[in-house]
Amino acid sequence: MSGRITAEVKACIGRQVSYTAPEELGRSAIRYFALALGDDSPLYRDPEAAAKTVHGGIVAPPTLVCETNQIIQQPLDENGYIGHHWTLPLPNTRFIRGGNEYEFHQPTRPDDRITVTWKILDIYERETRKFGALVFVVSEARYVNQRNELLAINRETNIYSP
């Protein structure tokens, strides 16, 4: 183990946490998210038009399942953030979002009650000339509905900079 990745940090690999939404997603959440995206597709707002599609009814824009914080039932953190984040033993670091990879398995529907399970897959370090040793944390979020059907997978990379 080099630099900033201690045995305590490495022990975080495999850590897992789950959250279940207290209620169904709902049509209004889908409509508001689509409006925020500027997407006026009838799939997201018009039950009659959506019923005539292959989906047979209203569905959510694909990324809503990965972006909704309805599943989190905790207070705001010190930065005003309510979503999931890992508390890792990496003192004196700055958090940087490194990117996401999404897999969508089926549409999310208004009556879906979502459960997400986050898991840390890997933690590694890369030396840079400009910033020194950066620590990369790769995690995966698996989103399922109330029938335990896989909706989406979000693989996320976060960077901790000195």
CATH code of 118's domain: 3.10.129.10
* Domain-embedded: residue 144: yes
pLDDT (0 to 100) of residue 86: 79
Give the strands of the sheet with 132-144, arranged side by side: 16-20, 115-128, 132-144, 150-161, 94-104
Give the range of the structural domain holding residue 111, as residue numbers without chain letter.
7-23+70-161
* Domain-embedded: residue 32: no
* Domain-embedded: residue 16: yes
Q: What is the pTM of this model?
A: 0.87
* Domain-embedded: residue 47: no
* Domain-embedded: residue 97: yes
The 10s digit of each residue's pLDDT in 55-87 is: 999 999 999 998 866 666 667 777 676 667 778
pLDDT (0 to 100) of residue 18: 92
* Domain-embedded: residue 38: no
Q: How many domains does the chain have?
A: 1
pLDDT (0 to 100) of residue 141: 95
pLDDT (0 to 100) of residue 72: 66
For residues 38-57, one letter each, b for 16 or more C-beta atoms within 10 angstroms of the residue's C-beta and e for the rest, the string is eeeeebbbeeeebeeeeeeb
Residue-level pLDDT, tens digit, the chain, 162 residues? 457 889 999 999 999 999 998 899 999 999 999 999 999 999 999 999 999 999 999 999 999 998 866 666 667 777 676 667 778 898 888 888 899 999 999 999 999 999 999 999 999 999 989 888 899 999 999 999 999 999 999 999 999 998
* Domain-embedded: residue 44: no
pLDDT (0 to 100) of residue 36: 94
Cα–Cα distance, 83 to 154 (Å, whole number)? 14
